Amino acid sequence: MKVLITGGAGFIGSNFIFHMRESHPDYDLICVDKLTYAGNLETLASVINDPKFTFIKADIADRKGIYEIFEAHHPDVVVNFAAESHVDRSIENPSVFLETNVMGTQVLLDACRTYGIQRYHQVSTDEVYGDLPLDRPDLFFTEQTPLHTSSPYSASKASADLLCNAYQRTYGMPITISRCSNNYGPYQFPEKLIPLMIANALADKPLPVYGEGINVRDWLYVEDHCRAIDLILEHGKVGQVYNIGGHNEMRNIDIVKKILAILGKTESLITYVTDRKGHDMRYAIDPTFIHQELGWLPETKFADGIEKTVHWYLENHGWWKNIINGEYQNYYERMYRNR
Ligand SMILES: NC(=O)c1ccc[n+]([C@@H]2O[C@H](COP(=O)([O-])OP(=O)(O)OC[C@H]3O[C@@H](n4cnc5c(N)ncnc54)[C@H](O)[C@@H]3O)[C@@H](O)[C@H]2O)c1
């Protein structure tokens, strides 16, 4: 079995490669990644010399390049993680989100249609459902919740999902989609909430929290997400959407305080900054369907996952130190100065 994994030098894609290496040691894994600011080949150091692993630097929106890869490797399965993934950057510059997340998905779907495939899996997000009010804790996103996007990022992800549905229905392609809640764990780029707060706390720098920090997200340890995708590839039904979530809703401010407590740092580092434009209030997944259909349940409790994550960042200082010293510094200044 040959599995082509796009975006495998990013956070979730790399964790998925490590998961697949363990759970299916006989599979050939091909990673296609453009190595944008969010992709880091160092992350794949432990597999790069594995004879059953191939890395190819390519843009999923480059039709010629992607067709050449399919011609040369004929993958059986494609899992598309490649995306521009940061909401704040989509507010600054939506164009690249449409190019990669929408046009790139279309190129991959066309390549799958041209060369034949056993399964195409689209890694989507709970953000396609929009948000839920804070005062209705009884409401959750199900697979039937209408798409109702807020940011250019979520609009681009929802567009890609609609394209997948259209290709499945029109061309009968074997497509599945998963929509997961917020992930955390090793190798997450330090612009995202949890690694950003860990890095700043370790440097005794202010911890910028949007608005009042009361926005609620449902947090899932990345390995649980990877296991869910593996199960969908093995046993999922073609044409089906699967919601993946941990029933672990937390306010941003409580996450930040938890990180400070683990690191033994003072809460006076917390600095409230002007809220993100159009900031979604609450995301909450109902994962009943994937539990009933595929027997999936999250295995890592938040209390354990966050300890493991903080310790990973402590032990892998070299991995993120290079990132925060590079181009990211300019982005950080633009985002948080004068806010
Ligand atoms: N992080 C989360 O909490 C979360 C939650 C739900 C769903 N998702 C989805 O999971 C997927 C992976 O998210 P992530 O957090 O690992 O993102 P990430 O930003 O860490 O990684 C994205 C990867 O895609 C690569 N990439 C970007 N544009 C590309 C292109 N045009 N061609 C080839 N490669 C390209 C980057 O180099 C990077 O390696 C995304 O599709 C995202 O929408 C993420």
> Looking at residue 217, which CATH number applies to its domain?
3.40.50.720
* pLDDT given for residue 339 in this prediction: 67
153 is an active site residue = yes
Residue whose C-alpha is closest to residue 104's, from 171, 156, 153:
156
Residue of minimum CA distance from atom 32 in ligand 1: 59
What's the structural domain count of the chain? Answer: 1
Question: Domain residues for 111?
Answer: 2-336
pLDDT for residue 330: 72
Mutation test residue for ligand 1: of 4, 11, 41, 56, the one with most atoms within 8 Å of CB: 11
pLDDT in 10s for each residue of the chain, 339 residues: 999 999 999 999 999 999 999 999 999 999 999 999 999 999 999 999 999 999 999 999 999 999 999 999 999 999 999 999 999 999 999 999 999 999 999 999 999 999 999 999 999 999 999 999 999 999 999 999 999 999 999 999 999 999 999 999 999 999 999 999 999 999 999 889 999 999 999 999 999 999 999 999 999 999 999 999 999 999 999 999 999 998 999 999 999 999 999 999 999 999 999 988 889 899 999 999 999 999 999 999 999 999 999 999 999 999 988 777 766 777 777 777 766
Dist. CA 186 → ligand 1 center (Å):
14
Indicate the pTM of the whole model: 0.96
- pLDDT at site 336: 74
Name residues contacting ligand 1 (CB within 6 A): 6-7, 9-13, 33-36, 38-39, 59-61, 81-85, 100, 104, 123, 125, 157, 180, 182-183, 189
Say what the pLDDT of residue 36 is: 95
Sheet containing strand 241-244, edge to edge, reads 53-57, 28-33, 2-6, 77-80, 119-125, 175-180, 241-244
